[in-house]
Amino acid sequence: MEISRRHFLETAALGGLGVNALTAAEVDQRTGMQTRILGRTGARVSVLAFGAGSRFLSYKDEAKALEVLNKALDMGINYIDTANSYGNGQSETWVGKVMKTRRKEVWLATKLSVRKEDAALRAVDETLKRLQTDKIDLIHIHSLTNAADLAAIEAPDGVLKALYKLRDQKVCRAIGVTSHTDPNILKTALERHDFDCTQMALNAAKVGNVFGKAAEGITGTFEDLALPVAVRKNMGIIAMKVFAQERLVGKTAPANLIRYVLSLPITACVVGMPQWAHIEENIRAAKEFKPLPRSEMDRLNQQMLPLKASIDAFFANHMDC
C-alpha cells in the first residue's frame, strides 16, 4: 500500500498529528502495516500494538492464543504489550513462547505493578524468564493512580529508581509509565521524571476526568493535559482504552475509533482483540489509516460525550489483569 506523503501531511495538519509523527510515518513494504517512530527511543513500530491483557487471555487455550499472536505478527504487528500482572504471569508466559523464536521481530513492552525498588528488581528477573529473553524493550510503571501513588513510585526506595538502574544496565531499552485514572497526576509525573515513553487512556470519548469530580480537583482529560507534555518531551506515546473496553463499540465503527487516536500526535495504539475477526478488522484499519480532520474528531467527541462520565467512573477502578 502506498501513501502520498504530501496528502498525509496536508490532511494530518487539519487533525491532531504532531510534526514528529508526520515525518516519521512509513509503510512496511512487506506487510503494508503503517509504522511510526516511538519518540526518543528511535524504534520503528507498528501503529497497532497487540494488547496481551485480559482479551488475549480470553482465548483460554494456549495453542490458540499462540496461533493468534503469531498470525498477528505475520500480518505486520510488531509491538506486543503485556504486564506481569496479566493472568498472574500467564500473559508473559504465552508471549515468551512466541518470543523464543521471534524475539528480534518485536518491540516488547511489559509493566510492573509493584512500587518498591527491590520488589521491582525481583519481578523483572521473573519476567525475563517468562518472556524467554535477556532484554525487554520497554518497561512501564503500571497504572499510576493518584498523588499518593506518585509519591510511592518516586520515593528513594521506589520502583522508578529500579527502572533507572535497569535502563542503565541495558536490561531494558526504555522506561515509561501508564495511566487511565487521573491526567493531572500523569502530567505531573511526565514533567518531573525522565521517562522515554508513556501509555495513557486516549479515545474519542476523551476519558480522564475521573467520576467528573471537579470539586475534588480531578479535571481535564489525558488528551488535553498529559499528551502535550509527552509531545513536548519527545516521548514515545501509546494510546490505550481506544474502545473503552468495548463501551464505545457500536456507537461508531471500530475503524473510526482507531482513526481517532491515530490522528493524535502518538506513535501507536494498544488494542485487546479477543477474536480473530477483530484482529483482521483492526489490522485493516491500521493499514488503511488516513488522518481525520479536526472537525471530524470534534464530531466524534460530541457523539461520545454522553458516555464519558460512565467510562471515567469505570476506569477509576479498572485493572486489566
In this structure, what are the phi and psi dihedrals at residue 135, rounded to the nearest 5 degrees?
-150, 135
Residue 267, pLDDT score: 97
Residue with cell 509525573: 189
Distances (CA, A) of 8 to 18, 87, 231: 12, 40, 19
- Supply angle C-alpha 315, 109, 158, rounded to 5: 70
Candidates 150, 85, 154, 155; CA nearest to 113 is 85
Q: Which tens digits make up the pLDDT trace of 59-100?
A: 989 999 999 999 999 999 999 999 999 999 999 999 999 999
Out of 26-35, 203-212, 242-251, 287-296, which region has the weakest mean confidence (pLDDT)? 203-212
Residue with cell 513500530: 45
Q: Within the chain, where are the H helices?
A: 5-14, 19-24, 54-57, 62-74, 90-102, 117-131, 147-153, 159-168, 183-192, 226-232, 254-262, 276-287, 294-304, 308-316
pTM of the model: 0.90
Residue 9, pLDDT score: 45
Q: Which tens digits make up the pLDDT trace of 281-313?
A: 999 999 999 999 999 999 999 998 888 878 877
230: its cell numbers:
509527552
Position with higher pLDDT, 162 vs 319: 162
Across residues 135-156, what is the average pLDDT?
97
Residue with cell 481525520: 292
Q: Count Cβ atoms below 10 Å from residue 45 Cβ, excluding itself.
A: 24
- Supply angle C-alpha 102, 104, 105, rounded to 5: 70
d(CA 214, CA 113): 27
Residue with cell 528477573: 125
Compute the mean pLDDT over every residue in the chain, rounded to the nearest whole number. Answer: 90
d(CA 134, CA 117): 19
**Strand duo 136-141 + 172-179: pairing:** parallel
Residue 207, pLDDT score: 72
- Rounded to a whole number, what is the distance in angstroms from the first to the last CA of the chain? 36
CB 107 within 8 A of CB 35: no
Q: Which tens digits make up the pLDDT trace of 120-136?
A: 999 999 999 999 999 99
CB 265 within 8 A of CB 17: yes
In this structure, what are the phi and psi dihedrals at residue 115, rounded to the nearest 5 degrees?
-120, -5
Residue with cell 511510526: 36
Residue 13, pLDDT score: 44
Out of 201-205, 218-222, 261-265, which region has the weakest mean confidence (pLDDT)? 218-222
